[in-house]
Structure 1
């Protein structure tokens, strides 16, 4: 596995609207969409490991492990390890040791965020870049999901909106929008998600097009490959997300809108986080002996 660079971060996600197929994105390389659930497989280490780089990588991962063990999952102050000061050889070894997991995200803005879950659920690689794509910060965060994903999406969104009159051909979208606006108004931190399943509703292309235009697009796109192939796109309305599931042929099979702080399909669960601590401890021990 090659070291990640500021200009070639492997986030295979694109913003897509309701009922649409993913468009070509020249800035990112797409990973093959899996046909079933992934199972844990340890990352592959290089055949030859520089002793100094190994010592640095082991010390970094042991520090991360200690912080994860001391932290109560879901509480404030989650573990963060700054990688900005590491040499390229040690950084490349840490990349190899952590691998790439099932969830990727990007958050546009200043700075832009590129986020990749490692093979250890709840351990995230977070890179900040400027408008020219230059890397500003590089870190590991251990948590359900880096907090800036939801926070930056919420900060860029509107608390309410006044929709324009629907054009000819729009039938059911205004009723769906009214339901969403009511759910947004009633939403409070910690409340259950309000989900509108567009797949089960009589929505024609004009309905979907108007709904996309009215809701707008926020700064965040997430791809989750853990439970099928799921693309999650923030809208410009607060706490409102397109959640779209695709089959192995990348055909849309389930199209929903969720009013929630962050859809449940994206964050890591507490049980997965605990499992990652055990697996990372074993893998760090193996790295010491490599």
Structure 2
């Protein structure tokens, strides 16, 4: 089911694309962080420390925060506005672009861009300001940026209104009843409930009625992990469209999840520890 948040003529809807911008752009940095090594290898540790003292301090701060972070703990925000342009550029090379990216529509009609770094659990968040100018740019360590979790909780409706079944409907009405019941029963941190449309017969009328009933949400996330995954918030609280895609971007597993932000786009405890070790190796090799 594609329930992407899109603009509608003569409407106040925020314009968002079905997939995050640039998710399939061939010019994106390597997931392996090879660009990081190439950028750093041309400079010695003493040179980097002299030219980028604030960046060296920031990296040590990031490593300490990753060591301390846990999946069930609040996220840690770290500002980058103290860095000059060169340091920001080098920070971008070090962070690279990891598996998960996305966008969040904010209530004031601005858009937040979310990008996980090659260090899983370390995110970069950019929020546009007036006339598309960058207003905020910060790093965040946690399972998912707080702006995503808050938008998922605050924007969508707490209940859904179920209208009469359309002509040609097969299973949409019991599915909607199940969704409504699971929405009401869900509690934070509880396991998600999954409805698998790959195994459940649903007609075109079913899917159209389901999409119109749930509506569009403010969050779109895309993961390029072991397999591509598209995660879209619907207009119903705790209800997500989660699709796993093949190489042709065709859904091979189409589901609805009722719960917190889906695990497919969240970092886990082991990610923080692995990322802390990787960042420690970079610091030791290039900033010591």
Structure 1, residues 28-82: CA drift from partner, whole Å, max 9, x if none? Answer: 334259xxxx974454342655745433322211111123334444223x32210
**Partner in structure 1 of residue 154 of structure 2:** 155
**Partner in structure 2 of residue 3 of structure 1:** none
Q: Structure 1 residues 208, 98: closer, same or farther in 2, change over 3 A?
A: same
Question: Take 2:143 and 2:51, find their aligned partners in 1: how far apart are those partners?
Answer: 29
**Partner in structure 2 of residue 283 of structure 1:** 282
Contact 2:149 2:261 in 1 (8 A): yes
Taking the TM superposition and a 5 Å limit, the aligned residue runs for 1:101-116 are 101-109=98-106, 110=108, 111-116=110-115
TM-score (norm 2): 0.84
Question: Take 1:123 and 1:250, find their aligned partners in 2: how far apart are those partners?
Answer: 26
**What's the secondary structure of 1:69's corresponding residue?**
helix
**Partner in structure 2 of residue 191 of structure 1:** 190
Q: Offset of 1:114 from its aligned partner?
A: 0.7
**Partner in structure 1 of residue 60 of structure 2:** 62
TM-score (norm 1): 0.84
CA-based RMSD of the aligned residues comes to 2.5
Taking the TM superposition and a 5 Å limit, the aligned residue runs for 1:238-253 are 238-253=237-252
Taking the TM superposition and a 5 Å limit, the aligned residue runs for 1:212-231 are 212-231=211-230
Contact 2:222 2:230 in 1 (8 A): yes
* Aligned with 1:96 (options 93, 97, 121): 93
Moved more, 56-65 or 173-182: 56-65
Question: Take 1:215 and 1:53, find their aligned partners in 2: how far apart are those partners?
Answer: 53
Q: Which runs of 5+ in 1 are unaligned?
A: 1-14
**What's the secondary structure of 1:145's corresponding residue?**
coil
Aligned length: 266
Question: Take 2:33 and 2:89, find their aligned partners in 1: how far apart are those partners?
Answer: 19
Q: Which runs of 5+ in 2 are unaligned?
A: 5-15
Q: Offset of 1:163 from its aligned partner?
A: 2.1
Q: Offset of 1:226 from its aligned partner?
A: 1.1
Contact 1:43 1:119 in 2 (8 A): no
